[in-house]
Structure 1
């Protein structure tokens, strides 16, 4: 646990272990930084299968995710630090209204230092329940004053990242005539495909779910599909590869196979391990750091705290284009990878804010 106090390993401000025997709740809330403002990050509901001690795995996950949120929120230009919560258990088996309300009471006890939202295993309807016990809850339904589905601006933000990557790589932010491969056409990937078709790109998709592929093809007859991700990433003439499914999409096996000159997608934690960014750079592939370009969703939910305004949130998400360009230009100027440049930009923004803990967020009326 000494890693909690080491800046190079975590440097987290606060970690809260939550337990409510009456509902079976076991949760971890990790606050990495409030230098920029109250910590904002989603609630993950996960069973951690196979872990001999799921509590330890949950703590590790919460710590890593909270630190990532500090960087994502900093790059997004939000007045928020980074935090994350993990509820331990299979949501399909143990999630109940009473458990979510108990969780909301724990979040509320922090007095606004942590603002929660959806993540893996939690949904808009869950946040509506949590909000009954905690005013510092985002990701709610429009009927409850929220923004609804955050994939809308996530997809829009990834599009801005692609435009920036195209501008840096080819000198033109236009995507017309470019071939873009999307791996994973769930909520975000499907919306991204629509944006790209509208922009005049040639779109190729794949997904492990045949129904997801069929829906995109029905909506956009110009889109084509391939059998699997390996086929997609080796497609001749592919300009941009967009991982929009699971993390770890870029690893020692896949990077040598890539035909695209740019990687820019919505998936979190795309680099399987440190050093993959170097492998991409060695092949001349421009990597758009995932947490820099997929921040449209957190921008969308953060806007709820001021009373959600879609136009205002979309304008903020449009700034992802300028942020991505800043990262690419810094990487080129300093001779480092975009992943390292993104970390440095985020660290500089956090440092510039000082180390004074942020004031609690003021919930909208």
Structure 2
């Protein structure tokens, strides 16, 4: 099967298979759409079992970046990259430098950044060979990085969903189940705890769970049971595909609003959630905070207070999606896609 025939292919402008035999690099860069600006999206490092699995991931993720940037009102297109490899294995820096050379060859058509398995210090390594990388540790001397902004957007999204669904303007006593305690998941827990929410958490990393339980008074459950908890909000913050035929019937939460990418196993699961009476906040809408935080690094100089205000304004974007879904009686996932495509089409019409 070629990229053109792949079920996740969505008119992508470019799909590049990158190889460096000396470094052992196998990577894929997918540029989905550059109508609104240069394609921007992180690089994910993961030990994919097959090339087909890696291709499916990068095609879906890059399309999601186009929609994320469009709905967030950013002057950026969508792209993504995946590196086939274990981020914990020796030789990571060699792979990252080789990957950086491939991105550099694109001349700014695609800007890469951090993602699962690629952290701000890794982005610094990529920058040794590439000018088109953002989210570097060196760009955040105070320690705050795009993952913090992503979590802040998650808080804004949960506030909006709770206001819309539960008719509440605060989170005191709201029960939230957080799946995944990486950088964004843990920071989301801190923000929710500060707002007075009650937390239940799960992660495959036992130490991460113990840390959150100790720091924020959370309850802990096994990872395979977190989605079944009797809570108000389920917040997926791990890998994608968690909302599917098996898990959706087991949900007890009234709201699903989390930071993981590609939470719907298949597009029709957005409709399944709506039919079940569950308010779903599309993942690429609520997790756009990180991109808002780094957009200025592509187009200008950072202004941290202004970026935080724009991230918190995702509250209004989420409300717009939820209210339009109710008005049109359509799944929120379809509404968010439509809003993104409308902005892109409008931009094309003004060329």
Identify whether the pair has TM-score above 0.5, normalized to the shorter chain.
yes
Higher relative contact order (CA 8 A, sep 6+): 1
Q: Which residue of 2 aligns with 1:228?
A: 222
Q: 2:201 maps to what in 1?
A: 205
What is the root-mean-square deviation in Å for CA atoms of aligned residues? 2.6
Instruction: Note if 1:115 corresponds to 2:108.
Output: no
Distance 1:131 1:229 in 2: 36
Q: 1:347 to 1:87 in 2, by over 3 A?
A: same
Residue 228 (structure 1) shift: 2.3
Which residue number in structure 1 is paired with residue 28 of structure 2?
Answer: 28
Out of 238, 246, 259, the residue aligned to residue 266 of structure 1 is 259
Deviations 1:83-112 (A, max 9, x none): 112223334446444443332222122111
> CA offsets, 1:186-235, max 9 Å, x none?
22222112211221222222223322122112222xx3313225654444
Superposed CA offset, 1:133-177 (max 9, x none):
221110101367797532211111011111111121123332123
Query: 1:161 & 1:215 partners in 2: Cα distance?
Result: 25
- Distance in 2 (alpha carbons) for counterparts of 1:8 and 1:188: 26
Describe the superposition over 1:310-350 as per-residue Cα deviations: whole angstroms up to 9, x where unpaired: 22221121121111111111111111011111111111111
CA distance in 2, matches of 1:5, 1:326: 35
Q: Does the 8 A contact of 2:209 with 2:220 survive in 1?
A: no
The match for 1:292 is 285
User: Equivalents in 2 of 1:45, 1:3: separation in Å?
Assistant: 20
Secondary structure of 2:274's aligned partner: helix
Which range moves more in the overlay, 133-142 or 208-217? Answer: 208-217
Instruction: Pick closer, same or farther for the CA change 1:28–1:225 going to 2, 3 Å.
Output: same
* Cα separation, 2, equivalents of 1:11 and 1:234: 37
Q: 1:2 to 1:355 in 2, by over 3 A?
A: farther
Of 337, 341, 351, 2:331 maps to 337
Distance 1:97 1:356 in 2: 43
- Cα 1:8–1:128 shift into 2, 3 Å: closer
Residue 243 of structure 1 is aligned with which of 218, 236, 248?
236
Structure 1 equivalent of residue 212 of structure 2: 216
TM-score, normalised to structure 2's length?
Answer: 0.90
Equivalent residues in 2 for 1:132-143, closer than 5 Å:
132-142=128-138
| Residue 270 (structure 2) pairs with residue 277 (structure 1) | yes
Quote the residue 2:40 is aligned against: 40
Quote the residue 2:177 is aligned against.
181
Unaligned runs of 5+ in 2: none
**Aligned CA distance change for structure 1 residues 146 and 39 (closer, same or farther; 3 Å):** farther
Give the SS at the match of 1:185.
Answer: coil
Provide the TM-score with structure 1 as the length reference.
0.87
What CA distance in whole angstroms lies between the structure 2 residues aligned with 1:137 and 1:122? 12
The CA deviation string for residues 282-337 of structure 1, in whole angstroms up to 9 with x for no partner, is 22110111111011122222232323332222112112111111111111111101
Q: Deviations over 1:255-283 (max 9, x none)?
A: 22222111111111111223222222122
Q: Paired residue for 1:307?
A: 301
